[in-house]
Amino acid sequence: MICLNSDNIDRYQIQTGEETMLRIMIKCLGGFSSSGLVNQLNNEVKEKGMEDKVKFIFPQFGQHKLDLSSEPVDIVMLCPHMAIYAKSLAEANPDTPFYIMPTRLYGMMQAEELYEDAEDVIKGFKETGMNPFHFEGEEVAIRVKRAVSHRKFIAENQNG
């Protein structure tokens, strides 16, 4: 498996043209909600046959700190209540994109939606260097009303 970082994220392709697995860490404060959610997400990944595309990871406990050296990931998605720690976590791990999940998206916790957002966040992070990353108009995650991936939300609102 190849772990992605901001240096080798070019559409997640390796030399053979095969896609690599996207490793998404879900982080909350105490680990109570994220541990269950990660299990639920990985079960959904298996049910939908996405095992070769994405794996959701639950970090070791640590409220305000995050050691990514033992568990390399491509992106860290923070639960909405982690917003106050996002900047310091991103500064401590500048090569890894951080993203605060919108509240409704966090509540729905659907693997495909989070996977699509992760792809787009990584692309945006690579292009802008913004960390933590947010989509235009979504500077405050708790105010975001969408419950689908950003790309689906944009497509739905352009077509109707």
**Residues 48-91: tens digit of each pLDDT:** 999 999 999 988 655 566 777 777 899 999 999 999 999 999 99
Distance CA 2, CA 92 (A): 23
Residue extents of the structural domains in the chain: 22-158
Residues 118-136: pLDDT tens digits?
Answer: 999 999 999 999 999 999 9
Q: How many CB atoms lie within 10 A of CB 21?
A: 17
Q: How many CB atoms lie within 10 A of CB 37?
A: 18
- Beta strands in 86-130, from DSSP E residues, in sequence order: 98-100
The order of strands in the sheet holding 75-78 is: 54-57, 22-27, 75-78, 98-100
Q: Highest mean pLDDT: which of 2-11, 17-26, 107-116?
A: 107-116
| Mean pLDDT to the nearest integer, 84-108 | 94
Enumerate the β-bridge partners of residue 116.
none
Contacts of 9 (CB under 8 A, 6+ apart): 74, 122, 123, 126
Query: What CATH number has the domain spanning 22-158?
Result: 3.40.50.2300
**Structure pTM?**
0.84
